[in-house]
Amino acid sequence: MPHTAPDCSRLPRTRIMFILTGGLLIVFMSVLSLIPMLPAVSGELGVSKTMMGIIMGSFMVFMAIPQIPIGVLSDRYGRRPFITIGILVFSFGLLIFGTAGSGMQLLVARSLSGLGVAMFFPAAYAIVGDIYPIRERGKGFGIVGLAVGLGTVSGYILGGVVGGLFGWRTVFLSMFWVSLAIAGVSLWLTETSLCSRELGFGARKMMVTTLLMFRDRNILMASIVSMLCGISVIGASYVLPFFASSTVSPVQMGFLFIPYAITSSLGASVTGTLSDRIGRKTPLIAMIILGGGALLLMSHVTLSPWVIAINFAFVGLCLGPVVTLTIAIMADQVVKKDPRILGTSLGAFNMVRWLGAAAGPMIAGLIMEQEGARTSFFVLAALTGLATVIAFFLKETLE
């Protein structure tokens, strides 16, 4: 029998979204600030490019694997505890990274931060699904995508400018204190899990029902599309600092990523809102094609900073908009079937896509060391081509 969720229209949506977007902003600012500083960190601690790729990937592995159990627990016991605890764990990962003296310590720090984000993400995205009805859900996830993009832009500037002027350790130690402050603010978050939960719906049943959800072809294909795009874009973001290091300074490196981050965040917001009117599938396919085409061009562009920055901006369309639209497709399907397992299902979905993102730097780093950066871009572009083919077989969920 379908479950009828209580009326959540009177929840303080503005305050909830303010706290969530603030948390996402800080998380992505901290995570992405490392990208422009990769050559500096690698050089100071004597860590190879392949090992740096593993360190980058470890964050995403530890962020991905716990997504399902944390999603189950957030459906069962509430979203708010995982928001606060997740940000706290993430914060201490930043502290360890900022004081690290070896590649192994960097690995431990990034893994701990990834675990913190694993607690935060499924609960945060489930809250958006809780408080927005289907005809506004694209808008809600678009707001989240905008916050992610702003955090990305700020992170690249922070890592490039502050890291270039004062050193990479200053960046991580500063963000540790900011992240602690956000954890404190999150205590004022309103619990929303009752909007999609029925008491007595046990954890085991949640898990089984969620896994059965992936028998739905649309959910499975949306997960694969998001995973392939994650491999491609995150892998390309790892390659770019090494690719451009011969022509730009560490300070300039942060600014090189700004057009990409702006395109990703604004694209997420625009396509999310647009998808509420015209559907999810068409804008999703368009974004993958544009982003994948730009990745293909990266394997042929000249080493001019302006050319690289402008071309890589279009790669961002394969990240923010694709994440926004595939999550909206997932949420649409789950809420129609059983809204009680929204958090659990989003946790499973995020696990799949972030495992893909984790593989991106590892794959790209290995190819780059063996065959060069341009070959790495070409292989990553081919993966977006596969994602495009799969996306054509998706069914529209906005009906």
Is 37 domain-assigned?
A: yes
Q: Is residue 196 included in any domain, yes or no? A: no
Cα 1 to Cα 4, 102, 289, 336, 339, distances in angstroms: 9, 55, 40, 12, 12
* Structural domain contains residue 236: yes
Q: Is residue 65, in this structure, part of any structural domain at all?
A: yes
Structure tokens at 368: 């780059």
- The Cα diameter of the chain in Å comes to 62
> DSSP state, 188?
G
Whether 328 is in a domain gets the answer: yes
* Chain segment 98-151, per-residue pLDDT in tens: 999 888 999 999 999 999 988 888 788 778 877 777 677 667 777 877 787 778
- Full residue range of the structural domain in which residue 154 is found: 13-186+203-391
In a domain, 2, yes or no: no
What pLDDT, in 10s, does the model give residues 322-348? 988 988 888 787 777 766 666 667 767
DSSP class of 372: -
- Residues with Cβ within 8 Å of 163's Cβ and at least 6 positions away in sequence, in order, are 33, 36, 37, 40, 170, 171, 250, 254
Q: How far apart are the first and last CA of the chain?
A: 21
Q: How many domains does the chain divide into?
A: 1
φ, ψ for residue 245 (rounded to 5)? Answer: -65, -20
- Examine residue 198 and state whether it is found in any structural domain, yes or no: no
What's the CATH number where 329 sits?
Answer: 1.20.1250.20
pLDDT of residue 134: 66
Give me the chain's average pLDDT, please: 81
3 occurs within a structural domain:
no
